[in-house]
């Protein structure tokens, strides 16, 4: 097993241009590189054009929080994977629960987006996870299984190797209540078993599965020390430079 940890920040719809510049400067100034982890930051679209210059030489990769299924066309208001790639993005978060909840994204649509990202050489971070009701009803493993099967099982052996999975229990996102390391590990192991049943052990052993949902400097180390947790997708704590840096340290 040789999975390098990955810490990915997800800024969501936060920060003005000035605030974004200030946060990036603080991160760059205090970040001295990571040996054992990759560091990615997903910013709002409007700040990505500048990112190439801002992150140059830092080793931090930047990407987006969504993209459309098509490369170009009359789709007012949408942004394509092709456009993102053309300004230097290397990854895109797809299927976040907020997009599922507020923008009615389905597993089928997300699959189309994943394909478009892959065709444009962007690495998708595919988010899955159950709601509190689904967990309380004991359906969490089945729900996540369906999300994984519908959005990922039609990919080729080659394509799946470019995908990162993020397990984000909806009840833990932005609530301050994180899944316990045991709960998260159980689900991550479940996801890896599913991937292994479809793509084989070797491929599944190399796919990174991130945990997301109230990752903070105080809980990061314990979460990341679980066998199948390969880092974090970090929302709220990624908005504060020093907290984000502490979470990277925890992964190191
Ligand atoms: P949170 O968000 O860290 O603020 O809970 C995580 C996410 O939604 O990716």
90 and 62 Cβ atoms separated by less than 8 Å: yes
State residue 174's pLDDT score.
87
Q: Which residues contact 43 (CB under 8 A, 6 or more apart)?
A: 11, 20, 51, 62, 64, 65
Minimum-distance ligand 1 atom for the alpha carbon of 236 = 4
Average pLDDT over residues 53-74: 96
> Which residues line the pocket of ligand 1, CB cutoff 6 A?
10, 168, 173-174, 212-215, 233-237
85 and 121 Cβ atoms separated by less than 8 Å: yes
CA gap 106, 111 in Å, rounded: 9
Tell me the best of 14, 213, 215, 246 to mutate to test the pocket of ligand 1, counting ligand atoms within 8 Å of each CB and taking the most.
213
CA of 69 to the centre of ligand 1 (A): 24
Active site residues: 96, 168
169 and 206 Cβ atoms separated by less than 8 Å: no
* Closest C-alpha to ligand 1, atom 2: 235
175-218 per-position pLDDT tens digit: 888 899 999 999 999 999 999 999 999 999 999 999 999 999 99
CA gap 9, 128 in Å, rounded: 16
Average pLDDT over residues 7-30: 98
CA gap 37, 35 in Å, rounded: 6
Percent of the chain with pLDDT strictly greater than 90? 96
State residue 176's pLDDT score.
85
214 and 176 Cβ atoms separated by less than 8 Å: yes
CA of 164 to the centre of ligand 1 (A): 16
Average pLDDT over residues 207-232: 97
pLDDT confidence tier of residue 1, bands split at 50, 70 and 90: low
* Closest C-alpha to ligand 1, atom 3: 235
Only one residue has tokens 């833990």, namely 172
Backbone dihedral angles phi then psi of residue 147, each to the nearest 5 degrees: -60, -40
214 and 172 Cβ atoms separated by less than 8 Å: yes
Nearest alpha-carbon partner for 94 in 51, 49, 143, 147: 147
State residue 87's pLDDT score.
97
- Between 44 and 178, the more confident residue is 44
Nearest alpha-carbon partner for 68 in 129, 122, 145, 6: 122
CA of 235 to the centre of ligand 1 (A): 4
CA of 177 to the centre of ligand 1 (A): 11
135-170 per-position pLDDT tens digit: 999 999 999 999 999 999 999 999 999 999 999 999
Minimum-distance ligand 1 atom for the alpha carbon of 175 = 5
């Amino acid at each position: 097993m040789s999975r390098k940890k990955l810490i990915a920040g997800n800024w969501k719809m936060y920060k003005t241009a000035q605030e974004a510049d200030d946060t990036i400067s603080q991160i760059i100034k205090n970040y001295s590189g990571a040996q054992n982890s990759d560091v990615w930051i997903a910013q709002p679209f409007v700040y990505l054009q500048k990112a190439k210059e801002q992150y140059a030489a830092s080793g931090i990769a930047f990407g987006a929080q969504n993209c459309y299924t098509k490369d170009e066309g009359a789709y007012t208001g949408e942004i394509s994977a092709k456009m993102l790639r053309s300004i230097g993005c290397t990854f895109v978060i797809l299927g976040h629960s907020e997009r599922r909840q507020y923008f009615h994204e389905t597993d089928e649509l997300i699959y189309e987006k994943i394909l478009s990202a892959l065709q444009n050489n962007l690495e998708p971070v595919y988010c899955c996870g159950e709601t509190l009701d689904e967990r309380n009803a004991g359906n969490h493993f089945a729900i996540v299984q369906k999300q994984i099967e519908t959005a990922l099982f039609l990919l080729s052996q080659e394509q799946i190797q470019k995908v990162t999975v993020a397990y984000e229990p909806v009840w833990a996102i932005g609530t301050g209540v994180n899944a316990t390391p045991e709960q998260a590990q159980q689900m991550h192991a479940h996801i890896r078993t599913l991937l292994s049943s479809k793509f084989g052990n070797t491929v599944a052993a190399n796919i990174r599965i991130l945990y997301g949902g109230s990752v903070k400097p105080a809980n990061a180390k314990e979460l990341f020390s679980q066998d199948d947790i390969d880092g974090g997708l970090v929302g709220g704590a990624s908005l504060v430079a020093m907290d984000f840096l502490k979470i990277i340290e925890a992964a190191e």
